[in-house]
Structure 1
Amino acid sequence: MPAWRADYSDRVSLARSLWHANADLAAAALAHPFVRGIADGSLGRDRFAGYVAQDAYFLESFARAYALAIAHSPDRAGLDAFADLLDGVRAELRLHASYAEKWGIDLGTVSPGPATSAYTDFLLATASLGGVGLTCAAMTPCMQLYAYLGRQLAAGPVDGRYAEWVTTYADPGFESLAATLERLLDTYADGDGPAVVYRRAMRLEVAFFDAAYRSPAG
């Protein structure tokens, strides 16, 4: 086998190996009462509305992290791929805007909670100061986890109350975006840093759901 093929084979396994190494946190997210409440419709409307507001705030930072990745991209292929991913976040933000309009949420007045701030600070610091590989490691868990949750929930009965949320993240188009980010992680990441960053991002994902569930809103 040519040397470049062996090297490429090793690198493409990184994203998958990191996902499998963090399967415990993916399982914790899937089993979380917030996520289960989305599936069976038992989650309180106010809690979901609070989550939407916090997630919209988070996604704006996620979009900025993609913009930083575009700026730091070392080649044209990365620039184009990160630009496409940024477009995907903009579509996700439009979904949140539709929720906000439907439920009377003023996204312009949202203040980030502690879990949201912890995640956005981590994400933007990594995207600003780390290389593109570390930025991918910080962002891939969010995309891959939501694609996983969408697939898993869509495979079972879903209450109509939050069916749009499940449909969005179970959509093959969203999974394709997650796969694109995994390929970018494989391309640009090296060393031990990505594993640490990836694990931190997965923990912050679970903490985000936990904060939404423990919100005093009913």
Structure 2
Amino acid sequence: MNNVFHYASELFEGLKAYRGIDGHIRLFRPQLNMERMRRSARRAALPDFDGSELLQCIRELIRIDEAWVPHQKGASLYIRPTIIGTDPKLGVSPSQQAKLFVITGPPISLFADAQYIRAAKGGVGAFKMGCNYAPTMHVGVQAIKKGCHQVLWLYGAKHYACCLSLVFPNLEVKVPATYLIDFFHVTEAGAMNIFMYWKNEYGEDELITPSIESGKKEQSDDQKSQ
């Protein structure tokens, strides 16, 4: 009867471990992930934690399981620290007890869907909370049927794709032909942020990422590093 099962009292973070050409395994600014995870905990009214201590635990986990970090160029191991509310009660109230744990997994491919949205302005799309993800399960099933792992979330009255398929390094995006319109608004890639490198309308090389100002998505560590 834990709080997490009835009221989505849950949050998680996502980061990756990369194996360099020298064989060493590295994390990209993981302290920023810890800071964001603590912000999500405050927003979800879940207990706070020591980010430095959790990061030490994550480093030790990777050291023990380093064989799971791919050797291929551009590949990575996905790391997901998670907190769930564990109060054994009914009733909508903040959880006073919680469990913090870490899981890992492989990288993914994406399916772009224009029928559903993941989050809206004024909601909690800017935080990695469990309630953002339960409504996405149905679309996720459709993505799996099309050979993808996750959904590329679009937003707005004209959230369409401008091409049939977009291929990024180690990330395949499949777009239905019925969404071939003028432009698109991307909010998030599954549970992740996304960057795109393309030629803009002036023929210039451009690196873009969805805006964080609307509050529909959380800011990534990569965005902070621009």
Q: What's the TM-score bracket when you normalise by the shorter of the two chains?
A: under 0.3
Give the TM-score, by structure 2 length: 0.24
Give the TM-score, by structure 1 length: 0.25
Q: Indicate the structure with greater helix content.
A: 1
**Structure having the higher Rg:** 2
